[in-house]
Amino acid sequence: MLKHHGRYPYSAIHARPDYRWPGGRRLAVYIGYNLEHFSFGEGLGAKLGPAGHEPDVLNYSWRDYGNRVGAWRCLELFEALRMPVAVIANTALYDHCPELLAAHRSRADEIVGHGRTNSERQGELPEEAERKLIAECTARLRKEEGKPPRGWLSPWISESPSTPDLLKEAGYAYTLNWCHDDQPLPFETRAGRLWSIPYPQEVNDIPMIVARQMGAGEFADLILGNFEEMLAQSEHQPLVMGIALHPYIVGQPYRLRELRRALKRIAAEKRAWLGTPGAILDHVEGLKLELPRAQAPR
């Protein structure tokens, strides 16, 4: 028998309890908005062009554009459409550009833990070092935001076998690391239940635009096509659609113009509920659903 993670059992989506989102809606939509900072001259990072010798000024400065310009243009767009966002934040931003996170705090956007920096992968760390990293980030987020974060997305979706356990032990309520479903589902950990909120790897600008070299209009069409299809599918099951964005990519002017086209359509659709992962979790927990669960890991 193949090795299994033991976090959740197989469950066909059409065989689960039925429910609705607030306002009787069937599709919940959220924006997972990644604000990231990178170490200069070392470590990981998305690349506009082939990496050269370090310091790799081309790729570092392209990413830095996101925090200096692109993020503020995206913020203007979110404000104009009155759209909430989940800010998935590296804690290094509190030292690099605290005013950017303060702008989202003033909107009451949800802040989601995202490690220290996207220059490193937490899944490569020994368990105690990973525990320390999560604790350090959690403490910084609590200090700056006045409350602890409820959700976590690992930089580069990097997990060790113990990551869900460590997140639950640190007080987290949900993870965004897994893209295995279109509904919130419980994970089993050695410390109890941790929710998994769907986070997209297709409706996501890094794999689509950077890796697959999709054009700005094509990416906007992808968002809209996914949205229209999920609206139709949600007639049969309640669904969650995430949209993963990075301001150094979609904050480029020609891409922002196309993103605005897609988000205006979504914001105008009354059949969809616009929320955040935390709000999605609150609603599902309040329903007290009987959902399939795996045997708890030992």
Q: Which has more confidence, 51 or 144?
A: 144
For 39-74, b where at least 16 C-beta lie within 10 A, e where not — what string?
Answer: eeeeeebbeeeeeeeeebeebbebbbbbbeebbebb
In-domain check, residue 8? no
In-domain check, residue 110? yes
User: pLDDT per residue over 4-33, tens digit each?
Assistant: 999 999 999 999 999 999 999 999 999 999
- The label of the residue with tokens 């899944």 reads 123
Residues of the domain holding 187: 22-38+53-287
Confidence of residue 263 (pLDDT cuts 50, 70, 90): very high
In-domain check, residue 272? yes
Instruction: Find the range with the poorest average confidence among 111-125, 194-208, 284-298.
Output: 284-298
Confidence of residue 173 (pLDDT cuts 50, 70, 90): very high
Q: What secondary structure, in 3-state letters, does 210-268 show? A: HHCCCCHHHHHHHHHHHHHHHHHHCCCCCEEEEEEECHHHHCCHHHHHHHHHHHHHHHH
> Has residue 296 got a pLDDT over 60?
no
User: pLDDT per residue over 88-97, tens digit each?
Assistant: 999 999 999 9
- Rounded CA-CA distance 39/47 in Å is 14
Two tokens, residue 171: 């007080």
> Has residue 294 got a pLDDT over 90?
no
User: Count of domains in the chain?
Assistant: 1
CB 51 within 8 A of CB 43: no
User: pLDDT per residue over 213-256, tens digit each?
Assistant: 999 999 999 999 999 999 999 999 999 999 999 999 999 999 99
Give the domain CATH number at 64.
3.20.20.370
> Based on the number of CB atoms within 10 Å of its own CB, is 88 exposed (0-12), middle (13-18) or buried (19 or more)?
buried
Residue type, 214: M
**What is the mean predicted confidence (pLDDT) over 147-175?**
98
**What is the mean predicted confidence (pLDDT) over 91-117?**
98
**What is the mean predicted confidence (pLDDT) over 276-295?**
92
In-domain check, residue 169? yes
**What is the mean predicted confidence (pLDDT) over 117-125?**
97
Could you tell me where the DSSP H helices lie in 3-110? 57-65, 71-81, 93-96, 98-106
Per cent of the chain over pLDDT 70 is: 99
φ/ψ (deg, to 5) at 55: -75, 135
In-domain check, residue 45? no
> Has residue 113 got a pLDDT over 70?
yes
**What is the mean predicted confidence (pLDDT) over 249-273?**
98
- Rounded CA-CA distance 266/14 in Å is 25
The pLDDT score that the predictor gives to residue 51 is 76
Instruction: Look at strands 272-274 and 27-35 and give their pairing.
Output: parallel
The pLDDT score that the predictor gives to residue 78 is 98
Confidence of residue 208 (pLDDT cuts 50, 70, 90): very high
**What is the mean predicted confidence (pLDDT) over 269-288?**
97
CB 138 within 8 A of CB 170: yes
Confidence of residue 295 (pLDDT cuts 50, 70, 90): low
Two tokens, residue 12: 């066909």
> Has residue 52 got a pLDDT over 90?
no
Mean predicted lDDT score pLDDT of the chain: 96
> Has residue 164 got a pLDDT over 90?
yes
Q: How far is CA 72 from CA 62, 128, 217, 261, in A?
A: 15, 37, 21, 18
